[in-house]
Amino acid sequence: MSESVEHWPQRARVALSLVVNVEEGSELSPRDGDPSPEPVDELGVVLKRAARNHANESNYQYGIKAGAPRVLALLARYRARATFTAAALSLERAPALARAIVAADHEVCSHGWRWTHQFRLDEPAERDFIARAVSSIASTTGQRPLGWLSRYLTTDATRRLLAEAGFEYHMDDYSDDVPFWDVAGGRPILVMPYAIDTNDMKMWTSPAYTPADWLQYAVDSFDWLWREGAHAPRMMSLGVHLRIIGRPGRIGYLERFLDHVRRRGDTWVATRLEIARWWAARHPAP
């Protein structure tokens, strides 16, 4: 007798997590007391002195003004709920966007108080950074975040502090295609692995990497996980940014990806919190 195969809800082969990063308005800037402006710039202009890079700031604001409406409209058309990993200050400075995300029933996951380097903080400062993000997002959205994604790096204390603060899952991991448990400071917390390779940031960091390249890689990743999903559950993360995928020359490639997923079928498009809770109910914490 063959062993039964575990599937996601609706017997789906793949749980697809669409992650929309909201960082615009909370990036580094001397206006907020930072020693230098934001180094992540589509043009690659890095200033190492305390001068505001107004051009790059306006490039970020494009994500709020023009990119967000396109992304939200596309998700609505495909009835796809996403996880918006949002820096708290970004939502404070774009309250209309915060309301639109909540109205569309998307999840808001914390991407920090600001989009800054959390790993440089000592433990008391990091604890305050986490608490401030929770309080801010709860105020702007009406719900506290239950997931966390840092900017790039974490400290040895990060996961423990998140568990102590009541977070259900942590995204700062790239080691698997399914969730798994960790125990931090005696408290279990579910790790929801993220993915760098399918992230649209590659179109900023590697100019030769075209939207067509990104789409092909995303489709290939999805198709392979879908094949494996016939035998064991698989999760795919697709990370995008308002200021990147929200451009008129790129948004159509996200549309093509969602169309491919719809035609393939047997896919559960869900928020990370939904996936985390489904997994935790069937794979209890140690």
Residue 2 lies in a domain: no
pLDDT of 87: 98
Task: Give, for 20, the enclosing helix (H) or strand (E).
Answer: strand 14-22
Q: Which residue has the higher pLDDT, 121 or 19?
A: 19
What's the average model confidence in pLDDT over 123-137?
97
Q: What is the CATH number for 241?
A: 3.20.20.370
Reference 178, options 166, 194, 162, 163; nearest CA is 194
Q: Please state the rounded mean pLDDT for residues 239-266.
A: 98
- pLDDT higher than threshold 50 for residue 54: yes
Q: Is residue 3 part of a domain?
A: no
3-state SS string over 148-187? ECCCCCCCCCHHHHHHHCCCCEECCCCCCCCCEEEEECCE
Is there a domain that residue 4 lies in? Answer: no
- Taking the whole predicted model, whether its pTM rises above 0.85 is answered as yes
Structural domain of 95? 9-282
Mean pLDDT of 144-148: 98
Taking CA atoms, 169 is separated from 53, 110, 285, in Å, by 35, 11, 12
The HSE-up count of residue 165 (CA atoms within 13 Å, CB side) is 25
Report which of residues 34 and 259 the model is more confident about.
Answer: 259
Q: Is residue 238 part of a domain?
A: yes
| Range in 21-25, 28-32, 143-147, 229-233 the model is least confident about | 28-32
pLDDT for the residue 1? 35
Proportion of the chain above pLDDT 90, given as a percent: 80
Among 40-44, 76-80, 222-226, name the one with the lowest average pLDDT.
40-44
Whether residue 49 is predicted with pLDDT greater than 90 in this model: the reply is no
Whole-number average pLDDT of the chain: 94
Both tokens assigned to 195: 């993915």
pLDDT of 9 = 95
pLDDT of residue 3 exceeding 70, the answer is no
Residue 222 lies in a domain: yes
Answer whether residue 4 shows pLDDT above 70. no
Domain count, the chain: 1
Residue 286 in this model has a pLDDT that exceeds 90: no
C-alpha 85/C-alpha 239 separation (Å) is 9
Kindly report, residue by residue over 19-48, the tens digit of the pLDDT: 999 999 999 888 988 888 888 888 777 777
Residue 77, pLDDT > 50, answer: yes
Q: Does residue 264 sit within a domain?
A: yes
Confidence of residue 2 (pLDDT cuts 50, 70, 90): very low
